[in-house]
Amino acid sequence: MPRVARLLLTLLKACCEIHEEACIIYVPKANWDYSDCELPAAGGSFNYMAQNPPNNRPDGNDDENNPQDPFSAMFGQLFGSGFDPNNLPPQLRDALGAQGDPAPTGAPGRGFSRVQRTSAGMIALLLIGVMMFLPTNFVIRSPGPVLNTLGEVDGTELITIEGAKSYESESTLDMLTVFVQGGGSNRVTIPVVLEALFNPTKDIAPEETVIPRGVSTDEQSEQNDMQMVSSQDQSVAAALTELGYDFKTWLDVAGFATDANKAVLKEGDRLLKYEGKEITSLEQLKADLDEHGDAPATMTIQRPGGKAAAKQLDVEVSTTLGETGNRQLGVLLNTTHDFPIDVKFGVENIGGPSAGMMFALAIIDRLTQGSLAGDHHVSGTGSIDQAGNVGPIGGIAQKMVSAKKEGATVFLAPAENCPEVVGRVPDGLNVVKVSTLHEAREVLEKVASGADPASMTTCE
């Protein structure tokens, strides 16, 4: 088989596999050897039929005495059954390698071979050109905007506090973002993926890591917005817990993940007690569920009464073992808090939970005298919960690039992200791993007192 034809089949096979389509390709020579093309057996994702497609000449003569060359076969399928390369202008027909009128009997065969090679080469170039603009199932992560949580954006402070005295700070505590290109209805093409492949500041990831299958781009954007709102609420709870403030936490049923307790609980129910013990946080409830095990338990709830007053009920609930090995009620819970202060956030058009830790540190800095990190420039990332646990996030390599570019000297990284940190730390950036908000606070206090961040716990 000619080398160009082998290349064509390989490219078409890759195209079919990427887009999970079944392909049938008509190839011009029935006597070519396909054994070295590594094609799957017939019935797989890529089938080929070695035959000469119908001539479709204007005079209706489709007999075997008038076989089409590869150029005519391909462009006949592209432009319709009436396509005839002999109708092209002579200069264009010769440049493209169309067969044209048959050569006289006894004429040398090298001309026809040249036509075959030229037309096959043109088809290969055409297919390669088309494939370069095909959408892919990848997303590209690149460094995004950087915002100082103690600063302003377009004249609006990122964090304002009412109901308690707020202090100025000389510290810079940056939250970091990642720009995600592709996925959903905005798929990236092969050239974009190739550029990212050779760009050390970018990462290529499967689309499913950002947008799960079955979720639209708009739905994912809405989820990201909800995660940002939740992270802000959790950051306030974590900061106030760290500072010793008292506040009330409510867990309300927002939906059901399983049918385990669907018969006894309703949306809007507020969970008050579990086995007689007051529920003060989601983390505490999870611990109590694990401790109690698989036996049924009594849950005290407050059920909205509509026009009537809300009423308290005792219901018997059961749990199931989740994939993580923890006991689960099978309900979706919405966490609300009754804080003694009012914290407002001036962040817009940014989603996700990854700024939670930096929000919490900024709130602590605002509520305490002095500057938490002195006059140092610190960046960081990580989700947060009410108990102050710092969780892993995505795109940490790109965030370190942004931190270094903005002038940060210290970078707070979630301990669970350390495998992605090793080997990708920009020169001059000191990465310190943290697992809790309390650890992060202690790091900043040490930096403010003059301690060398290079001597602190790193990911190495």
Q: Which CATH architecture has domain 141-179+216-244+340-455?
A: 2-Layer Sandwich (3.30)
Burial environment of residue 193 by CB neighbours within 10 A (0 to 12, 13 to 18, 19 or more) = middle
- Cβ proximity of 338 and 216 under 8 Å: no
Percentage of residues in the chain with pLDDT exceeding 90?
Answer: 50
Question: What local confidence, expressed as pLDDT, does residue 190 receive?
Answer: 83
* pLDDT one-digit tens code per residue, 15-65: 444 444 444 444 444 444 444 444 444 334 444 444 444 444 334 444 444
Q: Is 191 left (phi over 0), alpha (psi -120 to 50) or beta?
A: alpha
Q: How many C-beta atoms surround the C-beta of residue 452 within 10 A? A: 9
> In Å, how far are 117, 130, 215, 438 from 353, measured between CA atoms?
57, 39, 19, 19
Angle at 381 between CA 375 and CA 385, to 5 degrees: 110
What is the average pLDDT across 277-281? 91
* pLDDT one-digit tens code per residue, 359-377: 999 999 999 999 999 999 9
Angle at 85 between CA 84 and CA 90, to 5 degrees: 135
Q: Which CATH number fits domain 250-338: 2.60.120.10, 3.40.640.10, 2.30.42.10, 1.10.287.3510?
A: 2.30.42.10
Rounded Cα distance, 258 and 267, in Å:
13
What is the average pLDDT across 122-145? 80
Question: What local confidence, expressed as pLDDT, does residue 224 receive?
Answer: 87
What is the average pLDDT across 77-104? 47
Instruction: Locate the domains of the chain by residue range.
Output: 3-131, 141-179+216-244+340-455, 250-338
Question: What local confidence, expressed as pLDDT, does residue 30 receive?
Answer: 44
Looking at the predicted structure, is the pLDDT value of residue 78 above 50?
Answer: no
- First-to-last alpha carbon distance for the chain, in angstroms, is 53
What is the average pLDDT across 149-169? 93
> In Å, how far are 11, 261, 270, 354 from 278, measured between CA atoms?
64, 20, 12, 30
One-letter amino acid for residue 79 of the chain: F
Rounded Cα distance, 148 and 362, in Å:
9
Give strand pairing partners of 334: 252
Tokens of 426: 């920009």
Predicted TM-score (pTM) of this structure:
0.69
Tokens of 270: 């507020």
Rounded Cα distance, 276 and 298, in Å:
8
Rounded Cα distance, 44 and 23, in Å:
9
Confidence of residue 113 (pLDDT cuts 50, 70, 90): low
Nearest to 292 by CA among 313, 268, 316: 316
What is the average pLDDT across 84-109? 48
* pLDDT one-digit tens code per residue, 211-264: 887 777 788 888 888 889 999 999 999 999 999 999 998 999 999 989 999 999
Computed over its alpha carbons, how large is the radius of gyration of the chain? 32
Rounded Cα distance, 141 and 206, in Å:
11
- Cβ proximity of 399 and 352 under 8 Å: no
Highest averaged pLDDT of the listed ranges 85-94, 122-131, 318-327: 318-327
> In Å, how far are 36, 96, 104, 433 from 120, measured between CA atoms?
19, 10, 23, 57
The set of residues, in sequence order, having a beta carbon less than 8 Å from that of 229 and lying 6+ positions away, is: none
Please report the beta strands in 268-350, taking only residues with DSSP state E, as ranges in sequence order: 270-274, 277-278, 297-303, 311-317, 320-321, 327-328, 331-338, 342-345
